[in-house]
Structure 1
């Protein structure tokens, strides 16, 4: 074996040891977190380790912070979704806008949602209905998760977006749900066809996005739109509206 080959093997072994050690630390912290949350909320016993792991990672393995975050989530879920899920009758105005689609997956099998932002308008249901709509979307996505996968992809198509579509309260509400109650679920959010005027709304919303979430948001240049998406998604899984082969399927029909 050459010296270079030997060095590579040593580096590989060192990395495996490091990874193994990190996994053991994480497992220990999950056990500690479970003891803490079950003591404060017995219903936590019904939650699997993968859920606790997501909250733990969202708080950089700080058991106390992760536990507080998780307990807040349980309390929110009981009050906001008392029946365990959102019924289409509770989000009638949102579904009527026909703006959210769910089909296809990326190259790693993660489910993919597409939103046509120019179809979103404020309505009499207000922000509360919009939040229920987001929870409805997440629940739909989770039922499509392949075994061992926990994350999903979103493509936000901003083509035709204008000030009439600007709904800062709704955007902030969606961000709060993603960051506070569904941590470590979003893999990437691709924003495509972003018009210049959208940046006004973005500047208002951006300060409320934590760094971890911000790192997952990708503005895709129009000139490299198709090639950028094809790095992550097969052509057969891309919607027709973005140069792929899949027709858009409204979320309520999935």
Structure 2
């Protein structure tokens, strides 16, 4: 029988790489960022920075984790001031876009966008990253703000699927055309830039690997045009036209990409199951957040844990042993638990074919962070 549901857990073959401790210099910068957000009480309610402000909600505090601080520190090359500015900017964006504190991005709002299964959470890669499949060939709606809302909704859901100790996702992008979509065109350049801006500004260091396959000539052209807007750290995580089984256990990989899973997207079956699993994971996350003190600086390792915490934990501005990823990717651990086990291995560089394409690029100022 076809498989129609997401996988709840990684394959037994998958692992989460071991952590590496922060050095003294990195630790001091982490502590400075933590101290700032422990003391922060309120922020503007919208990106236009009007005079209206609101207190930091519990949902927002639960987002301000140790791993969050470290992701932004890595993205800003350990510049404390830039890191703080970026995090505050994302908090305001999440309010404005409808992600936090009380999300307006409901399953009902974006469900019509996914009726053809153009975005699917299915399985975990070799490093236990949840896999988000993007299938532009299944595009079923015209360009609109709801398309971007749909992508953000799915990003938030795939984050819910992350197991304790992993804070990154894998993107599996298939450009193969299908007959189910009414509009198989690639995104417009403006939409591509908006999505890239959201990913790089507000989800830094979340991408562990991006696998791209079945790329047509027009797809290569689109990738070449948006290439200047992709920051260098993200480019290193892009893998073109390589066998997906090299990166995802075949027992959790769609058979269309060399796996053993005969996946059949049935919207009325998949959608409620996926959103129910994500909601249960989110509820467990918030339950642990309350048990551990409802404060900033907690570890996602603890927050995503299935353990029943009997006591409470608190964040602290004192030095803690926080793990890190080598080079461009690092992670952290909790005040009250064992270190997080998140490491990213070196990934292939951008494909030579993309670099060799001879088409005009639009001038742009590239971002300095990822």
Deviation at 1:230, TM superposition (A): 2.1
In structure 2, the partner of 1:14 is none
Contact 1:98–1:119, Cα closer than 8 Å, also in 2: yes
In structure 1, the partner of 2:303 is none
TM normalised by structure 1 equals 0.80
In structure 2, the partner of 1:118 is 137
TM normalised by structure 2 equals 0.56
Quick check: which one's helix share is greater?
1
SS of structure 1 residue aligned to 2:217: coil
Rounded Cα–Cα distance in structure 1 between residues aligned with 2:259 and 2:177: 20
Choose which of 78, 87, 92 in structure 1 pairs with 2:106: 87
Rounded Cα–Cα distance in structure 1 between residues aligned with 2:113 and 2:168: 24
Alignment gaps of 5+ in structure 1? 1-18
Contact 1:189–1:216, Cα closer than 8 Å, also in 2: yes
Contact 2:193–2:226, Cα closer than 8 Å, also in 1: yes
In structure 1, the partner of 2:192 is 171
Deviation at 1:34, TM superposition (A): 2.5
In structure 1, the partner of 2:94 is 77
Mapped pair 1:24 → 2:52: no
Deviation at 1:27, TM superposition (A): 2.5
Rounded Cα–Cα distance in structure 1 between residues aligned with 2:41 and 2:139: 38
Choose which of 175, 187, 193 in structure 1 pairs with 2:208: 187
Deviation at 1:191, TM superposition (A): 0.7
Choose which of 144, 155, 159 in structure 2 pairs with 1:142: 159
Contact 1:152–1:187, Cα closer than 8 Å, also in 2: yes
Which fold has the larger relative contact order, with Cα–Cα distance below 8 Å and residues 6 or more apart in sequence?
Answer: 2
Rounded Cα–Cα distance in structure 2 between residues aligned with 1:129 and 1:23: 43
Bigger mean CA deviation after superposition, 139-148 or 81-90: 81-90
Rounded Cα–Cα distance in structure 1 between residues aligned with 2:116 and 2:245: 28
Deviation at 1:186, TM superposition (A): 0.5
Please provide the CA RMSD for this pair: 2.4
Query: How many pairs were matched up?
Result: 227
Deviation at 1:78, TM superposition (A): 1.0
Rounded Cα–Cα distance in structure 2 between residues aligned with 1:173 and 1:248: 30
- The 1:50/1:31 distance shift into structure 2, 3 A limit, reads same
In structure 1, the partner of 2:322 is none
Bigger mean CA deviation after superposition, 39-48 or 136-145: 39-48
Rounded Cα–Cα distance in structure 2 between residues aligned with 1:185 and 1:87: 22
SS of structure 1 residue aligned to 2:158: helix
- The 1:205/1:171 distance shift into structure 2, 3 A limit, reads same
Runs of 4+ in 1 over 6 A off after TM superposition: none
